[in-house]
Structure 1
Amino acid sequence: MHNLVRLNLRQTIVIGIAIFTFAFGGIGLLSLSNINQLQQEVVLVEQADDLRNLILEIRREEKNFFLYRDRSFFSVGRDNLGRARIALDALSGDIGASRGLEHGMALDRGLARYGELLDRLGETPASPAEGAPAAQKLRETGQELVEHSQALAELERQSILRINQKLRLTLIVSMAAIAVVLFALVIFVSKSILRPLTRVQEATRRIAQGTFVPLKVKNDHDEIQQVFVALNSMVEELKKRQIQLVQAQKLSSIGTLASGIAHQLNNPLNNISTSAQILAEETAGQSEFGDRMMRNITQETLRARDIVKGLLEFSRHKDFAPAPYPIKAVLESAVQLVSSQIGPRIAVNLDVPGDVTLMVDRQRLQEALINLLINATQAIGGEEGVIDIKTYTEEEYEVITISDTGEGMSADTLQRIFDPFFSTKEVGQGTGLGLFIVYGIVEKHGGAIRCESTPGEGTTFFIRLPLIPDEPGGEA
């Protein structure tokens, strides 16, 4: 039982149609055969009636001969016998029943004997009396011919009745078969199509209500069951997307919170910077160590203030507004903002000329660069690694490359990295929106982005941004 082949919906329908076609084709051929046989029997009945009429005509001429002594009977009788012989020959080839064949053979013998008796009577000069032995023999033979011809016609009529009954039976059987097929079709459609579609409809309603329960899949080869599989998979994917969207909303809230914190940090940092400068002026020259510490406090305060300033610019929402910016400054700002996440085990090499200015929206481009730097950091993980950032001019574009020595990506992953919500990270560790957002930001600038990656050898992103006309290096 376990080795039985389970048919899918398409195969079941094809087999059902084939059975339906063969069944009704057989019924049609049987009906056609019966109709052809009926037509043949009608022809045979007509031929049998013609033969019987010829024999009756011979008997009428015979009676006229004995009543009126008209010797033309012999010539007319021979002509009618010849026609009867021809009719019998045409009929005898189609007589199939044993009784019909018996009557045909009796007619053949009777016509021959009647012809002999007719010739014998025609050779006598005087017409025999009606009661003469020769006349009596002729009349007996004629009567036998009439009986056999009538019996043969009756057999053919009975054959027509049997064929008619067979046609009626075929019609009844056909109607019964149609009823059975239609009943089976209704059951099949209801069980295999309508009922599963009703389950799909109920499932979509439960999805809308947030109470979806995965549908049970009975046969993976069935197309409707495959719809169940796809629906279950879709719902699981929707659950993951919902978690990722919640995570994205959390990140957005964190950005808003960070903006507020940055605003609040500005005043303490300004106070620290002012106090450190005043104290440095008051204690200048009193202690070399103290002067060095005051300089460190002032530098670190300025560095913290720059980070807070960059965080404020990054979190502030503005309309897309490109302006000329040195690309090196944008890259340095992005590296500074993610420096705390990069860690000491990853070296960042920035090889960017300072004379290249592009027309960019600094905040959005910085957001795209930060996404790529965070991805590079996560690809390297806890191992030691390097992130190389370079730029070069290619025709009318400036190309930014960000390379890492991380784990790399497979070809299948590489094809999907810019799809929305696609992520190779565990649920809750990433939204799957990062590279999709990067792709949109680069396109917004009129540029393009592509990626090259080899498993185990790292990943490189290439960002092409248009140069400003008439700028150094901007001519084709």
Structure 2
Amino acid sequence: MRAEISAILPDYGVDNPNGFRYGGSRALVAAIALQFRTRTETPNPCGFQSTMKWSWSNLNLQGKFRLLAWAGLVIWLFNFSIIFFQINHINQTTLRLERFEDLYNSILEIRRYEKNFLLYKGRDNLDETISFFQLARELYAGISADEETARNQDLLRRLSGAFQEYSSVLDLEQSAGTHSITSEETQEKIRSIGKRMVDLSHELLGLSRSNVADTARDAVRWPLLITGLILVLFAVGAVLVNRKIINPLVELEHATEKIGRGDFGPIRHSARIESEVDRLVIAFNRMVEELEARQEQIIHSRKIASLGTLVSGVAHELNNPINNIILTIDALVGGRNVSEDRRAALLQDILAQAIRASGIVKNLLDFSRAETSTIQDVDLTQLLKDTLQIAGNQITLGNIELRREIEPGLPVVLGNRQGLQQVFLNLVINAVQAMPGGGQLTVRAAADENQRVAVAVEDTGTGISADHLPHIFDPFFTTKEVGQGTGLGLSVSYGIIKKHGGRITVNSIPGKGSTFTVVIPTREETIDG
């Protein structure tokens, strides 16, 4: 604690070479600074990387969705408040419009009874005029007290002046008691004031109607704007879901399909901020690495199992050159009068038999060596020759006739030599085991016009039933008796060929035999692809 505070003090302008030597307020400042730094460095569970500095790019997926959800909720509540306010405002504006209409209608009634009074005289017409005039003044008092309508002060002031002038004329007439106005000047004055009241009230009514229209437009405009913002948030959320969830899940789906085809390539991942889906991708890549490692172990275990099958045959095959060497050496040791020419011939025979044995051992060692992922040019003609040599004694002991139909000058393929050899050896051994009573084994190889090489291994054995064909490449699926097969050979071979960009198919007729065909791209097609 003291060392941390000592490290912070220089940042706050405190010279403190001896820890708490100065104590007091400086130590307090340092302690507060340490606490502040600790809080700002604490990760936020909502996805923020720091409580003091953050941005959209620093949010994880959960934090972004939470932020969008809160923003949408706030905007929705704001939109609801705006709608409520606009409805209330429309109601109030409509009430004001009704007051202006009542005022305008009252003034029109004043003019109507005023006209009757000027034309026909009579106490009744004057009383109606005064009655509607009082109603108009009451309506005016209510309108002028409203803060909203008080904005039209000029019109209201002019209307108030007209009311006062009109009131003074009516008061004079009512006090005179004649119930008639004979003066043309007075009549014209009343008509002029009445017309002015009508014009002013009509103008106020028009402004009120315009205000209602503006309020209605605002009531539509704001919800549309807020709805647009909500749609934008939904669009951002949709893009986020597409980029951060759907696309990675599609990549996961494709990667899973590739794994089913034997391709253990990882998913490219370059996210700066790891979201939940990003962590899923990372975990998936780790799983792929583990699966690939297990696949290599399975391939090697299958290779060891194949070696067990080959040992007896190789032992017999090695026995012939060794016996020849022993007999030749015995002839050399026992023969005292052996000529130089005869001696040279015997030594040449020993060398040939030793080279033959060495080749057998070399092929066996090459096959049994732990497989590496080295990609190189592979001569299929030589590879098939070496493979058939390894399995040669198995073929001979099985009383099987071998036919080679290998096209000369096969194009070179780019791949893993050990893996391809294991595939062809598995197919040959399976063919031999499918003919327990002997038969004919045919190995064909030819190139097509699509820069691909097809290698077919055909036998005349027991064949495979139609029910078993769809599962023939499934792991641990076997038609052999318990203890005679692991069910991994064809599955491993399928994965190896898929890694080379090729395919392996099977055609079989029960009781007549099977044909396994391996098609792999040549070196030129692999480079072009």
After TM superposition, the score normalised by the length of structure 2 is 0.43
Larger radius of gyration: 1
Larger relative CO (CA 8 A, sep 6+): 1 or 2?
1
After TM superposition, the score normalised by the length of structure 1 is 0.47
